[in-house]
Amino acid sequence: MTHAVVVEIPAAEAVSSAADFTPVEPRKVAPGWVPVGGHARRVLRRIVWADRSREGLVRIADQVVARPLVSVLRIFPLLKLVGPQAKRELGLSITRQLIDLLRMVLVHGAKPAIYYLSECYRPGAMAEAGAIVMRNEIKHGIGKALNRLDPEALKHRRNLGDKVAAAKWCDEHGFPHAGPLMLVEDGEAKLLAPQAALDRDLFAKRRDGRGSYKVTPYRRIAPFRYQDRDGRELGLAEITAELLRRKPSRSWMIVPQLHTHPELADLTGESLLTFRALTCLDEQMRPVLTNLYLRSITKIEPRWDVGRLEEYGAPVDLETGRLGRITGDKPECLSEFFDHHPVTGARVTGRLVPQWRDLAQLAIDMHRALPGRVFIGWDLALTTEGPMFLEGNSFADPMFPQRVFRQSFGHMRLGELLDFHLGRIEAELDRGNNPGAEA
């Protein structure tokens, strides 16, 4: 089992207080206990069936009928895409893969891709599928219920999905971040900083939402003149006009473009190398860091030919700060884990992440400022200016970290903590409350 570990930070290196990597004894398994993934799915079923509102009935139909049906139908194109490769490289017959895929969907409620992403074809791995926590549970009930367990904290919640609000929150607490310089929405561009601050490399991203949809870098080539990815030269007026014309219409922010720390720059191309930190409240309601991993985002690298892959990831060892092997995020990656970056060729395995303790401490300090949130995925960057906050997500995708660490959450410290908080949700359901209901 992977545990959070104690890390001593020299006084000169500490950001605020010693990093809160808390050691815990493994949980004693009681009769009737189910792995955390199975527990999460059981709790989700209780949340869904207890909600008889109109929205709740729609969710019941979605969870009970629509999702399983769609997942079964997805098996066949996925098997066509990945099956022959898995047979060739791993010796798995198509029949064996089909049977396993049906079990994953019908018994564990998984999307078929999870079979390959979690390497459930390995000997004995199907018996461990109940330890896998999936996106469906987090996104469609568990995440919301976790955020509603503390009614008092809920009254003071902050919306980190709104990047302008998130930037204000960072300013209030002194967290390092790249504050917005301009907001482009409602048919106009609004300056949020002195215009002189825009005379630098810039980056356009959505005000709300997640991911890298149409994010655009603009490289400064002369005073208030920029070059986009296509080599076009633009001024500020042309950039804002282009953002206003984008369909579907969204609110866009222009922020300073950050650059990757020089000691890690060979692990990326033109994009910013990022880290995902997972923090969770422990049994004493204290935030602890359970996982930290590097992310190399391929879908915003215009010169990388990586097919369908959207990102690579490599785990950070919380005892040493060193990177493990790197892997991709698509089923066809199968059991491919590399010691060197598949595109840049730079060494990954065993490499020390500079200032990794500062990244860890930043994640914990930020979670302290949001005591009502149980589980948060933080997107951070290690830049030429030091660690920076990028985004926070209470509905963080659980699947990629389980692949990156090559372990299900059920075998990690995070799984112990989620199991504990799932028990808190069940206690509320036993009282007749439904913190995960649609509202």
- The per-residue pLDDT for range 183-208, each reduced to its tens digit, is 998 888 999 999 999 999 999 998 88
C-alpha torsion angle, residues 327, 330, 334, 337 (rounded to 10): 0
Indicate whether 171 pLDDT > 50.
yes
Range of the structural domain that residue 118 is part of? 36-148+420-430
Residue 392 sits in a domain whose CATH number is 3.30.470
Q: Residue 347 — φ and ψ, nearest 5°?
A: -65, 135
Q: Has residue 31 been placed in a domain?
A: no
Same domain, 251 and 268: no
Q: Has residue 436 been placed in a domain?
A: no
| The pair of three-digit structure tokens given for residue 410, joined into one six-digit string | 């059920």
Same domain, 324 and 357: yes
pLDDT over 90, % of the chain: 79
| Cα–Cα distance, 192 to 64 (Å, whole number) | 47
CB count, 10 Å around CB of 270? 12
Indicate whether 129 pLDDT > 70.
yes
| Tally of domains within the chain | 3
Q: Which CA distances in Å does 182 have to 27, 240, 271?
A: 49, 9, 21
Q: Has residue 391 been placed in a domain?
A: yes
Same domain, 247 and 297: no
Burial of 11 (0-12, 13-18, 19+ CB in 10 A): exposed
Residues 6 or more apart in contact with residue 194 via CB below 8 angstroms: none
Same domain, 58 and 133: yes
Can you point out the beta strands (E) in 273-328? 274-281, 287-297, 311-315, 327-328
Burial of 407 (0-12, 13-18, 19+ CB in 10 A): buried
233 sits in which H/E element: strand 233-235
Where on the phi/psi map is residue 110: left (φ > 0), alpha (ψ -120 to 50), or beta? beta
Same domain, 385 and 337: yes
- Whether the CB-CB separation of 387 and 191 falls below 8 Å is answered with no
pTM comes to 0.90
Name the residue among 390, 313, 393, 322 with its Cα closest to residue 357: 322
Span 37-48, average pLDDT:
96
pLDDT over 70, % of the chain: 90
Same domain, 100 and 223: no
Q: Has residue 11 been placed in a domain?
A: no
Where on the phi/psi map is residue 304: left (φ > 0), alpha (ψ -120 to 50), or beta? beta
| Cα–Cα distance, 183 to 192 (Å, whole number) | 7
Instruction: Show the CA angle centred on residue 38, arms to residues 26 and 431, nearest 5°.
Output: 90
Task: Report pLDDT for 6.
Answer: 36
| Cα–Cα distance, 191 to 200 (Å, whole number) | 15
Span 29-53, average pLDDT:
86
Same domain, 126 and 227: no
Span 23-34, average pLDDT:
49
Same domain, 283 and 238: no
Same domain, 252 and 272: no
**Averaged confidence pLDDT in the chain:** 90
Same domain, 183 and 288: no
288 has which bridge partners?
280
Q: Is 33 helix (H, G, I), strand (E, B) or coil?
A: coil
Q: Is 288 helix (H, G, I), strand (E, B) or coil?
A: strand
Report CA Rg, the chain.
22
| Cα–Cα distance, 115 to 239 (Å, whole number) | 43
Q: Is 78 helix (H, G, I), strand (E, B) or coil?
A: helix
Task: Report pLDDT for 1.
Answer: 47
- Whether the CB-CB separation of 377 and 133 falls below 8 Å is answered with no
Same domain, 387 and 424: no
Q: Has residue 18 been placed in a domain?
A: no
Q: Has residue 16 been placed in a domain?
A: no
Beta 182-185 vs 188-191: how paired, if at all? Answer: antiparallel
Residues 6 or more apart in contact with residue 262 via CB below 8 angstroms: 384
70 sits in which H/E element: helix 67-90
Considering only residues 168 and 439, tell me which one the structure prediction assigns the higher pLDDT: 168
pLDDT in tens, 343-366: 999 999 999 999 999 999 999 999
Q: Has residue 276 been placed in a domain?
A: yes
Task: Report pLDDT for 439.
Answer: 67
Q: Has residue 174 been placed in a domain?
A: no
Name the residue among 18, 35, 71 with its Cα closest to residue 416: 35
Same domain, 372 and 317: yes
pLDDT in tens, 148-166: 998 877 676 778 888 899 9
| The pair of three-digit structure tokens given for residue 226, joined into one six-digit string | 């920029």
Q: How confident is the model at residue 33 (pLDDT cuts 50, 70, 90)?
A: low
pLDDT in tens, 224-240: 999 998 899 999 999 99
